[in-house]
A = this chain, B = another copy of it.
Amino acid sequence: MRTIPKDLTATIRDVGAFVVLTHIHPDGDALGSLLAFAEIMETLGKRVFCYLEEPVTSLYDFLPDSMRIHTDLADLLRFIEEADGQVAAISLDCGDCDRMGENQEELLKIHPFLAIDHHRAHRQYGDLRWIDPDCSSTGEMVYELAQVLGADISATCAFNLYVAISTDTGSFRYESTTSRTLMIAADLVARGVRPDEVASHLHENFTLQRLKLMELVLSTLKLHESGQLAFIQVTRDMFERSGANFQDVEGFIDYPRSLRSVKVAAFMKEGKDGQISVSLRAKGECDVAEVAQSFGGGGHRNAAGFRFVGKTVDEAQAEVLAALIKALKN
């Protein structure tokens, strides 16, 4: 069991109404945590308003109650007014308040503002925080919170939490997966979650366009440094030929990464606006966060990224390649 700051749990117990927030372009951990937290608060008799700047995409509309997430700021302001000052905000899985979207100033006016997050690089915004980078996911933290609050976890709440944990651990494959993570997953399954149903939504949810794009991207695979460095790329032309969109490339970097000889994998993506974004993944000793930082980006030791503006794909590729070969040799 994790240690949760007592002032945070005390505030959650006291406040009668919650505005629940997460980051823009939300993934399964962001949305699953948000929806689970909302339901847990309601079982404790509180009023809840879930807000996100944009509607939930078709990738995540399978989440129970995803329809309850509001996107209209006027509705949010009305909720606050009706709560008569007795309202707190909470952001879940959002390490940087800039990632709350365009209305972040309006949102940060709510006090007390709470934050629950597992990102190591949390920007320390908000009045009260529980930040635990040792937790696999924000979903895991929301589960622990429910335990401390003595709140019941329903089958739908368990489903949302399982999606959250499963997303952020890559189906219990990442380093962040602890014995406690698996114990929690076991409890959620005991509460009615079907792991195959979750996996089907998360991993069997693809379009033909995505598979076509995967074929095109795989054909760009190049190995360097005796197979230690793998490079793939996607161009605007490939998006057009396949009919796929930018979202469809998620996870493609796992293919070069899956090669036995590979220590570093790079994936270069040509965006609509001439921007080139680069994702890096490392296995073992190589630190790709340092490489990303040298290009003005950031991330973790094993997973990082950055962007180029005003370069051609060829120029960008040559620069990244040189930097990665240098990093491999260090």
Contacts and interface: CB of A to CB of B under 8 A. Distances in A.
Interface stretch (A38-46, A79-87, A257-265): A257-265
A221 interface: yes
Contact of A204 (B185, B211, B260): B260
Interface stretch (A24-32, A66-74, A167-175, A313-321): A167-175
A155 interface: no
A284 to B, nearest CB: 9
B179 A186 contact: yes
A208 interface: yes
A221 B227 contact: no
**How many chain copies?**
2
Given A205-B258, A215-B219, A258-B206, A196 B183 contact: no
A172 B195 contact: yes
Contacts of A171: 171-173
Contact of A179 (B178, B190, B256): B190
A12 to B, nearest CB: 27
Interface in A164-219: 169-175, 177-183, 185-187, 189-190, 194-196, 199-200, 203-208, 211, 214-215, 218-219
Interface of A: 169-175, 177-183, 185-187, 189-190, 194-196, 199-200, 203-208, 211, 214-215, 218-219, 221, 223, 227, 255-262, 283
Top 7 closest pairs, chain A to chain B, by CB: A182-B186, A173-B199, A179-B189, A179-B190, A175-B196, A215-B218, A177-B195
